Amino acid sequence: MSGHDHHGHSHGHHSPGAGSNLKVAFFLNLSFTLLEIVGGLLTNSMAILADALHDLGDSFALGMAWALEKFSKKGKDPTFTYGYQRLSLVGALLNGIILLGGSLFILSKAVPRLLNPEAVHVPGMIFFAIIGILVNGAAVLKLKSGKSLNERMVSWHLLEDVLGWVAVLIVGVVLLYVDLPVLDPILSVLVTLYVLWNVLKNLKRVFLVFLQATPDSFEVSVFEEKVLELSKVVSVHHTHIWSLDGEDHVLSTHVVMEAKSTRAEVVKVKSELKKLLHGYSIDHLTVDIEYEGETCVAEDAETSLS
C-alpha cells in the first residue's frame, strides 16, 4: 500500500514576484549599460568601458534569468511530470558561470594596472559612480526579498556592480586630492575577489541541488527516529529527499507497520507523517506502507540488479 501526496499550496514557496523582479532588474541594468558605453567613450575612460562590457554581459544574464524564471512556472506535462521548476536552477547555473567569466575579465584588466597605473577622468568617474550606485542599488533592493537560487545568483551580479561603483566613487573622491591612480585597480581586485567567493558558494548550492543532495534543513536520521515513535510502526527505510529548485522538495519513504494494522491505523500514520514534515516545504510526498513480513519491492529490485 502506498500513498502519494502533492501539496498544491506548496508552490507558494516560490517568490511570487520573482519574474517581475528580474524584469525590472533587467531593464534597469540594460539602460545603464547603454549610458555607460556612451559615457566611457565621452570620457575616454577604459575603466568605465570595461565595466560597461561587464554590465552588458550582466544584462544578457538577467534577460536569460527572467525568461527561465518565467518558464519555470509552467505546470507539469507528460514529458516533465514535476513541471519546469528546475529551469530556475539552469538560470542560476548559467548566471554563475557568466559572472565568473566577467569577474575574471575584470581581474585581467585590473591586475596589469597594479604595475602600470593609468590616469583617469576623475569628474567623469564620480558622476558615473553616483548614477551606477543609484541604478544598480535600486535593482538589488528589488531582488532583496527573492528566495530562489536564480534570484540570489542574479542579485550577486547586481551587488558586484554596486560595490564596484562604490569603489569607483571612493577612488574618484580621493583622486580629487591625491595623485594615486593605483587605488583604482587595488579596489577593483578586492571587490571582485569578494564577489567571486560568494558566487562560488552559491554555485556550490546549485550543484548540490542538481546532484539531488539532501536539503540543509532536513536530517534523514532524525526524521526516521520520529517515524519509529509512531504507533504500529516497526521500521522505516528507503527514505530519500531531494530538492526541485532549492525551495520545494520531494520526499519518499517506506514505512513498515505491524502485520495486523488496520486501515484506520495506516491512515493515521500517514497523517502523522504529514505533521512531522510540516514546515519543510515538501512539494511531493510519497509514503509506501509495508506490512511486517512483507518483501520490499525496492529491495527486490536492488537485489536483482546486483
CATH code of 53's domain: 1.20.1510.10
* Domain boundary residue, one of 210, 243, 273: 210
In the chain, the number of structural domains is 2
* Domain boundary residue, one of 152, 181, 210: 210
Q: What's the pLDDT at 305? A: 41
In a domain, 6, yes or no: no
> Does the pTM exceed 0.75?
no
| Residues 266 and 203 reside in one and the same domain | no
Low-confidence ranges of the chain (pLDDT < 70): 1-21, 43-47, 49-50, 53-54, 57, 61, 65, 68-69, 72, 143-151, 153-154, 157, 298-306
| Residues 58 and 112 reside in one and the same domain | yes
Q: What's the pLDDT at 229? A: 93
Q: In whole angstroms, how far apart are CA 33 and each of 53, 135, 219, 255?
A: 8, 10, 45, 57
For 265-286, the pLDDT digits (tens) are 999 999 999 999 988 888 889 9
Residue-range definition of the domain harbouring residue 35: 15-210
| Residues 234 and 175 reside in one and the same domain | no
